[in-house]
Amino acid sequence: MRQAIVRGDPSTYPDWFDGKRRQRPLIVSRWVPIAMVGLPVAVLLAIVIYPTVWMFYHSLRDTNITGLFTGNHAYIGFANYATVLGSERFQDSLIHLLQYLSFGAVLQVILGTVLALILYEVVRSNLWRTVILILVVLPMMLPPSIVGVLWRFLLTPSNGAVNQALLDLGLISAHIEWFNAGISLWSIIIADVWNWTALPFLIVYSGRVSLPPAVYEAARVDGAGQWKVVRRITLPMLKEVIAIAFILRFTDAFKFVDLVYVMTSGGPAQSSELPTYIAFQRGIREFAIGEAAAYAIIIFAISAVIVTLFLQYMKRVMRAQGLA
């Protein structure tokens, strides 16, 4: 009677198996796995971890540009943080960020979703679908600096195309001063929506394409109307996809500098500044390295909290559907 084979216990393996265990291992030396993991870790350390730690270190010191190069800077505790959090400029910029998020990012996701579903549900020919897809995605392929310059031209109050068009249509009777205080941030949002709506659009469209057609046929047999199908079946099934699109646009908002810089430079009178832009301004333009570092750390903390909340939500949704 043969001995029963116990997995993991070579003494119970039959004779014919002897040679098999001595197969040449895929990994030749024990240094290979160390190198394969170590190299990316080293790169990560060098370009992410080290600068972050460096930044945190200087956020606690009174570093300016000369101090940075001469090593002449002193520990000042959380004074930089106090300066930042206490400044009206930063508080205003947070309100601007909120405005940008709730109109810019949200609008992009809503518009992108609506466009994607319309394209899928209404346009039936594959040729037209492709043509429209390309047209919608085109703005996303332009670098933001170009988009900024483009929209500065389009929105020029006296002879810009947008004002001219609104006048010709009779929607306004006088030029809108697109770059005045109170409006300039809206101009940035408009340009950004134009620039980035295509991203949620693409994500949602590809999500819709991959939904199982049989479910829709079942709905047709059940007798659900088209609007009901979109509301009760399509949108719930695209929930995670839309959430991902939103997270992407949301996280981008925290590093959003380019359009602000090109279109308004935060002005007039700091009325269109976002936190990141101030960090950039204080650090790169005005050489207040310590304070800029504090800005960056605060922005990092805020975004980390929000993204964590989002991921938690995603996890819950996925678990409810048995996906995770």
Partner 1 sequence: MARLVVEGLCKGWDFPVIDDLSITVEEGEFLVIVGPSGIGKTTLLRLVAGLESPDRGRILVGDRDVTRVPPYRRNVAMTFESYALYPHLTVARNIASPLQARGLPAAEIRRRVEEVARLLRIDTLLERKPGEISGGQKQRTALGRTLVADPQVFLLDEPISHLDARIRHELRSQFHTLEDLRRVATVYVTHDYAEALSLGDRIAVMGNGGRLAQIGSARELFEQPATLFVAEHLGQPTINALEAELVDVDGRLEAHVGSLRLPVASSRRDALARVGERRATRRVTIGLRPQHLRPADELPQGATLEGRVDIFEALGSTGVMIVDVGGVALTALTRPERTFDPGEMVTLAWDPAALHFFDPSDGRNLLL
Tokens of 156: 């020029």
The reply to whether 142 sits near partner 1 by the rule CB under 8 A is: no
Q: Tell the smallest beta-carbon distance from residue 315 to partner 1 (Å).
A: 14
Residues in CB range of 226: below 8 A, 6 or more apart: 121
Nearer to partner 1, 177 or 240 (CB): 240
Residues in CB range of 149: below 8 A, 6 or more apart: 262
Between the CA atoms of 104, 146, 164 and 174, what dihedral angle is there, to the nearest 10 degrees? 60
The Cα–Cα gap between 21 and 200 comes to 51
Q: Tell the smallest beta-carbon distance from residue 215 to partner 1 (Å).
A: 5
List the interface residues with partner 1, window 197-216 (CB under 8 A).
Answer: 212, 214-215
Q: Tell the smallest beta-carbon distance from residue 299 to partner 1 (Å).
A: 35
Tokens of 71: 């090593």
The reply to whether 227 sits near partner 1 by the rule CB under 8 A is: no
Q: Which residues of 242-269 are buried (b: 16+ CB within 10 A; e: fewer)?
A: bbbbbbbbbeebbebbbbbbbbbebeee
Query: Which amino acid, one-letter code, is at 271?
Result: S
The Cα–Cα gap between 159 and 18 comes to 85
The Cα–Cα gap between 169 and 156 comes to 18
The reply to whether 126 sits near partner 1 by the rule CB under 8 A is: no
The reply to whether 182 sits near partner 1 by the rule CB under 8 A is: no
Nearer to partner 1, 285 or 315 (CB): 315
Q: Tell the smallest beta-carbon distance from residue 238 to partner 1 (Å).
A: 10
How far are the Cα atoms of 28, 36, 45 from residue 33, in angstroms, in the given order?
Answer: 9, 5, 18
Q: Tell the smallest beta-carbon distance from residue 244 to partner 1 (Å).
A: 16
Asked if residue 157 lies in contact with residue 175, where contact means CB atoms within 8 angstroms, the answer is yes
The reply to whether 320 sits near partner 1 by the rule CB under 8 A is: yes
Strand, coil or helix: what is 75? strand
How far are the Cα atoms of 109, 150, 183 from residue 165, in angstroms, in the given order?
Answer: 26, 16, 18
The reply to whether 221 sits near partner 1 by the rule CB under 8 A is: yes
Nearer to partner 1, 175 or 239 (CB): 239
The reply to whether 323 sits near partner 1 by the rule CB under 8 A is: yes
**Piece of the chain touching partner 1 by CB under 8 A; list 31-39, 176-184, 229-237, 285-293:** 229-237
Nearer to partner 1, 97 or 241 (CB): 241
Nearer to partner 1, 168 or 222 (CB): 222
Site string for partner 1, 232-251 (x = CB under 8 A): -x--xx-x------------
Q: Tell the smallest beta-carbon distance from residue 231 to partner 1 (Å).
A: 12
* Number of residues counted as binding partner 1 (CB under 8 A): 20
Which residues of the chain form contacts with partner 1 (CB under 8 A)? 212, 214-215, 217-224, 228, 233, 236-237, 239, 320-323
